[in-house]
Amino acid sequence: MNDTRRGGGSEEADGVALRPVAEDDLPLIERLRTDPELAGPFLWEGFTDPRRFRRRWESDGMLGEETGNLVVARGAVFCGIVSYRRVATTARAWCWSVGISLLPEARGRGAGARAQRLLAEYLFAHSPAHRVQAETETANLAEQRALEKAGFTREGVMRGWSFRDGRYRDEVLYSMLRSDLHPPGTAPG
């Protein structure tokens, strides 16, 4: 049985890892995505069916070809989830769009930056995608710092990109290319 204690842990990102979602994680994931206090101001999009996570987990373990989720953990402690989804960029090309949702106790401790870096590395290692991107509201300065710390490059502002809390919001687009992981002249590793 997984230890799904809520928590932060040390002030550093040491020990942060990604793993598949286990059945024991589902109650925390459901609360994280459906409780406005846990979701935080940038991820709360209104009430939705919390059972959708269990149905998805029973269907494919939340690890699909087009979309998926992994648990962010520090040791045995559940810190949150990262997500990925395939986005068409042209008729023949696509990239991954990624996101993260952490428990309040895990925020501001480096886990978000480390988890998003690990997710990008995982997606590049297990798919032919050349690009991983992330979008975040312009007001979400903590996520912008985490993405930059993880090695993502700020590309620009997308005006009126998302709808939350009664109005459209501007979002900042970040990306990481496969070549950003190992610039020319450096060894993978």
Q: Is the pLDDT of residue 188 over 80?
A: no
Say what the pLDDT of residue 40 is.
85
Q: Tens of pLDDT along 31-88? A: 998 898 888 888 888 888 889 999 999 999 999 999 999 999 999 999 999 999 999 9
pLDDT band at residue 181 under the 50/70/90 scheme:
confident
SS (H, E, C) 36-103: HHHHCCCCCCCCCCCHHHHHHHHHHCCECCCEEEEEEEECCEEEEEEEEEEEECCCCCEEEEEEEEEC
Residue 23 pLDDT class (50, 70, 90 cuts): very high
Confidence category of residue 182, pLDDT binned at 50, 70, 90: confident
CATH number of 16-181: 3.40.630.30
Residue 41 is predicted with a pLDDT of 84
- CA–CA dist 184, 162 (Å, integer): 36
Confidence band, pLDDT 50/70/90 cuts, at residue 9: very low
pLDDT digits (tens, 9 = 90+) for 72-130: 999 999 999 999 999 999 999 999 999 999 999 999 989 999 999 999 999 999 999 99
